Amino acid sequence: KQRELVLAFESSCDETSVAIIENGHKILANIIATQINSHKRFGGVVPEVASRHHIEQVVGCLEDALNEAQVSYDDLNAVAVTYGPGLVGALLVGVAAAKAVAFAHNLPLVPVNHMAGHIYAARFVEPIIFPALALLVSGGHTELVYLAKPNSYEIIGETRDDAAGEAYDKVGRILGINYPAGKEIDRLAHQGQDTFNFPRAMIDEDNFDFSFSGLKSAFINTVHHADQLGKELNHADLAASFQQSVVDVLAHKMVKALRKYPVKQLILAGGVAANSGLRERIKSELQDFEDVSLLMAPVKLCGDNAAMIGAAGYIAWKAGIRADMSLNAEPSLEF
Ligand code: KG4
Ligand code: ZN
C-alpha cells in the first residue's frame, strides 16, 4: 500500500502540537510544546497567555515535525487541523498555520473536531470497529458518544455542569496541587481509602448524563469544614474518595449505555482516560460484555496532541471532508 501522509495541527488549549501520521495510524512525528508551566501559577489556563505561546511555538513545532519524520511538504497528502471546541484565540493559531501550509502547497485542508481527535487516539492501538461507543472524559468535556460508522458522532449523554477533568483540577487546587491535578490525585488515591463516601450524582437517573459540580462542592465543603474545626484531613483518603465517586458514576453510566446500544467496541479516551483507577474499572466492567472489545487510548496519547488529530483527519480526508480558506475557529463546536 502506498504511503499517505497527513500533517496535523492541534492548538485548542495549552498544548501546541504538530504531527505527521502515515496511513492514519503510524506516528512519524508528534511534537508537543506544553505551556503548563506558564499557566500553573494562575491555577488554570489563561486564554491570552495561551494564544501568545501558540504563536511563538507553532512554526518551530512544524519544522521539528518535518525533521523528525524526515519528510518534505511534497510528501504530504493532506493537512488536518483542530478548529474547535476550545479557546478561540488558541484555535486560531493552528487554523491559520494549517491554512497557510495547505494554501502554499496546494494540499486539501481537513477540519477536525478536537473531541473526535481524542477518540481517534485509540486508533494507534487498533482499528476502530463500528458501531462503537466512546466514553470521552477530558478537562472540558464528559460525554458518551455513539459512533454508528466512521465520521458519525452522536452524543447520547454529557455532563450538565463541570467536566470530570475540571472537577479533578478544582479539587486539586483545594489540596494545594498544581494545575493540572488529575495525575497527582490519581497517584494519591492509590494510597488512600474511600472513607468520605462523596455523592454519586445522577447515578440512578434514567439517562446517560453526568454532573460533577455537586461532588466538587461536597469535597470543598468537607475540607473547609475540617479547616474551621482546626482538623487536618487525610489527603490520600480525600483523593481516593473523590476518585471512587468519579469512577463509579462514569462506569455506571457506561454500562447502562452498553445495555441500550449494542456496539462492537467501547473506546475510552480524553485526558482523564489516563486515570489508572478508571482504566482498571472499565476493564473489569467490560468482562460482562463478551461481544464488546475494549479499546483504550494509550496513556501517552490521552492528553492533547496532534497525532490524534492526524488519525481522525485521515479518516475524514478519506471520506472527502474538506474545508476551504474560509475555515474559522469554532470555540463551541459540537459533534
Ligand atoms: O483532554 P485533555 O488533555 O484536555 C482537554 O481537552 O480538556 O484533558 C486534560 C484533563 C485535565 O483536567 C487533567 O487534570 C486530566 O485531564 N487528567 C487526569 C489524569 N491525567 C490528566 N485526570 C485524572 N487522572 C489522570 N491520571
Ligand atoms: Zn483535549
Q: Which domains does the chain have, with CATH numbers?
A: 5-120+302-318 (3.30.420.40), 129-296 (3.30.420.40)
- State which ligand 1 atom lies nearest to the alpha carbon of 15: 3
Contacts of the segment 144-147: beta carbons below 8 A, 24+ positions apart: 144/208, 144/253, 144/254, 144/257, 145/115, 145/119, 145/335, 146/261, 146/263, 147/119, 147/267
Q: How far, in Å, from the CA of 256 to the mean position of ligand 1? A: 24
pLDDT for residue 326: 98
Please report the pLDDT score of residue 248 as a whole number.
Answer: 98
175 alpha carbon to ligand 1 midpoint, in Å?
17
Strands 15-22 vs 5-10: parallel, antiparallel or unpaired: antiparallel
140 Cβ inside 6 Å of ligand 1: yes
Mutation choice for ligand 1 from 168, 190, 332, CB with most ligand atoms inside 8 A: 168
pLDDT at residue 1, as a whole number: 64
ipTM above 0.90, yes or no: yes
Ligand closest to the CA atom of residue 142: 1
Residue 251, pLDDT score: 98
304: annotated binding-site residue?
yes
CA distances to 35, 103, 243 from 263, in Å = 38, 40, 27
**Distances 8 to 117, 204, 208 between C-alpha atoms, Å:** 11, 41, 32
- Say if residue 310 carries a ligand binding annotation: no
pLDDT the model gives residue 207: 96
| pTM score | 0.97
pLDDT (tens place) for every residue of the chain, 335 residues total: 689 999 999 999 999 999 999 999 999 999 999 998 888 888 889 999 999 999 999 999 999 999 999 999 999 999 999 999 999 999 999 999 999 999 999 999 999 999 999 999 999 999 999 999 999 999 999 999 999 999 999 999 999 999 999 999 999 999 999 999 999 999 999 999 999 999 999 999 999 999 999 999 999 999 999 999 999 999 999 999 999 999 999 999 999 999 999 999 999 999 999 999 999 999 999 999 999 999 999 999 999 999 999 999 999 999 999 999 999 999 999 99
What pLDDT, on the 0 to 100 scale, is given for residue 154?
Answer: 98
Q: How far apart are CA 127 and CA 113, in angstroms?
A: 19
In degrees, to the nearest 5, what angle opens at C-alpha 93 toward C-alphas 144 and 145? 5
Contact 247, 277 (CB under 8 A): yes
Residues 6+ apart with CB under 8 A from 98: 7, 9, 79, 80, 81, 109
Which atom of ligand 1 is least distant from the CA of 277? 24
Say if residue 209 carries a ligand binding annotation. no
Ligand with smallest separation from the Cα of 180: 1
What residues does the ion ligand 2 have nearby, CB within 5 Å? 138, 304
117 lines ligand 1 (CB under 6 A): no
Please state the φ and ψ torsions of residue 296, each to the nearest 5 degrees.
-110, 135
140 is in an annotated binding site: yes
Was 165 annotated as part of a binding site?
no
| Residue 71 pLDDT | 97
CA distances from 43 to 4, 48, 126, 256, 314 (A): 41, 15, 36, 35, 35
